[in-house]
Amino acid sequence: MILLTSVFGVTRQQLGLFWPDVMEKSDIGLPIAGIIGAWLVTVAEMTRLLGGMISGIPMTTIGWICTLAIIVGSLLL
């Protein structure tokens, strides 16, 4: 974040580069991976909170599976 804020002014003002100006209009949009990642993290956390009470699966197993799903979802974000 510090690097981004330190080079943003130079890149924008001196070089005239800003990502919406450089990219094609069709490339600018909402990536589907971010939405999937956000939902994966949300569902995994709800499963972690409620899964031990609802199912007969041990809480540690649910915890590890949900942790893995949260890591994958975070990488998609």
Quote the CA–CA distance of 44 and 57 in Å, as a whole number: 15
Q: Is residue 38 in a domain?
A: yes
Q: What is the pLDDT of residues 17-26, one digit of tens each?
A: 777 777 776 6
Residue 27: pLDDT band by 50, 70, 90 thresholds? low
Q: Is residue 17 in a domain?
A: no
Q: Is residue 20 in a domain?
A: no
Residue 75 is part of which domain span? 30-77
Q: What is the pLDDT of residue 47?
A: 87
Question: 63: burial class by Cβ within 10 Å (0-12, 13-18, 19+)?
Answer: middle
Q: Is residue 15 in a domain?
A: no
Q: Is residue 18 in a domain?
A: no
Q: Is residue 3 in a domain?
A: no
Q: How many domains is the chain built from?
A: 1
